[in-house]
Amino acid sequence: MRVLVTGATGFVGSAVVRRLLADGHGVEALVRDAGRARRQLGEAPVLREGDMLVPGTYAHLVEGVDAVVHTAMLSLPGRLTARRAERLFDADRVMAQALADACVGHGRRLVYTGGCFDWGDHGDAWIDEATPLTPSPLGVGHARMARELDALHRDRGLDVVRLSPGFVYGPGGLFASAFVEQAEQGRLRCLGAGRNWWSCVHVDDLASAYVAALARAQPGSAYAVVDDEPLRLRELTDLVTDAMGRPRVGSVPPALLRLLLGGPLVDSLTTSFRIRGDRVRADLGWTPSRPRFRDHVGESVAALAREA
Ligand SMILES: NC(=O)c1ccc[n+]([C@@H]2O[C@H](COP(=O)([O-])OP(=O)(O)OC[C@H]3O[C@@H](n4cnc5c(N)ncnc54)[C@H](OP(=O)(O)O)[C@@H]3O)[C@@H](O)[C@H]2O)c1
């Protein structure tokens, strides 16, 4: 396959690029800065510069590939207010709609990235693909797009596959910035009591799920992609500090962090997503090589320490 990957320099996107290349596929990587992307991704992918807010910079690329993987997410450093979250959702919508249109026009597959916040808080109950999308604040954009893409599949024959990963860990992303780096600086705290569930997936396992979805998923299908063992946020936090050889940390009232980080982010991180990933295993034959965060968090911590 020849695959266009948006957000190719991102935490998820770069892992997808590496997996596709390792499996012998061709990659066209949509990036914002080709020089930086070349240093990050190496010589193999064809680099295309584009801006997700400007469809004219990328929609034409769809014709030249067999399929598209969309992982780009607008960069918005700083406090994530409700207004700024809407900018994030709008950017995702601009890009996903333009890619979907082009995919309909040229008969290409679109693999869309949703997320673990799209179902909202379900306490101790299990979530799966049949659970209605009643999103947490940061899941609103993906949940809206999920409905639009499903409608495009029904009404215009869009070949779309939606993947909704759990919390993605590995050497980068939120795992690095919100856990490991905060712990190194003595600033990590558990958000509230941490009784809410988080389902996780290692970034390399997630990348394999994209390749499986490109190759084997039915048009119009949707998959939660999570490892075998959800954890309560308190335990997940303890596993990170244990792996780093640091003392366990106290907790911080979410209300305090809302002032610092923004309500939508904190209200999403404190929701409970205990997700079952049976369907991706049954339909696509996907199994995580790292089935439990507790057994593999040390590897990611060590990889980050090597990079530092
Ligand atoms: N990480 C998780 O735990 C997680 C969990 C569930 C779902 N997801 C979903 O997975 C997707 C990817 O997340 P991620 O963690 O990989 O994000 P990320 O690391 O922040 O990557 C975002 C990517 O989008 C690119 N980008 C930013 N602004 C752009 C613009 N204006 N035009 C074109 N590209 C732009 C970035 O390029 P630069 O390198 O140039 O900034 C980067 O390649 C998101 O939809 C997210 O909701 C993530």
Q: What are the residue boundaries of the structural domains of the chain, listed by start?
A: 2-233+260-307
Test site for ligand 1: of 18, 54, 75, 175, most ligand atoms within 8 A of the Cβ: 75
Note the pLDDT of residue 235.
98
Q: Is 93 exposed, middle or buried (0-12, 13-18, 19+ CB in 10 A)?
A: middle
The answer to whether 99 touches 110, Cβ cutoff 8 Å, is: yes
pLDDT at 78: 86
Residue segments in the chain with a per-residue pLDDT below the cut of 70:
none
Q: Residue 273: what pLDDT? A: 98
The pLDDT, as a whole number, for residue 223 is 98
Instruction: Give CATH for domain 2-233+260-307.
Output: 3.40.50.720
Does residue 174 contact residue 136 with C-beta atoms inside 8 Å? no
The amino acid sitting at 262 is G
For residue 266, with 0-12 CB atoms within 10 Å meaning exposed, 13-18 middle and 19 or more buried, which class applies? buried
DSSP string, 80-123: --HHHHHHHHHHHHHHHHHHHHHHHHHT-EEEEE--TTTT---T
Question: Could you tell me if 231 and 124 are in contact, meaning their C-beta atoms sit under 8 angstroms apart?
Answer: no
pLDDT tens-digit profile of 45-92?
Answer: 999 999 999 999 999 999 999 999 999 999 998 899 999 999 999 999
- Provide the pLDDT for residue 308: 82
The reported pLDDT for the residue numbered 66 is 98
Report pLDDT for 269: 96
* 14 CA → ligand 1 middle, Å: 10
Distance 16 CA to ligand 1 centre (A): 12
Predicted local confidence at residue 77, as pLDDT: 86
Report pLDDT for 192: 96
Strands of the sheet containing 46-49, edge to edge, are 46-49, 26-31, 2-6, 67-70, 109-113, 159-165, 222-225
> How remote is the CA of residue 74 from the centroid of ligand 1, in Å?
7
The Cα 121–Cα 134 span in angstroms is 8
The answer to whether 166 and 227 are in contact (CB under 8 A) is: yes
Q: Which pLDDT belongs to residue 65? A: 98
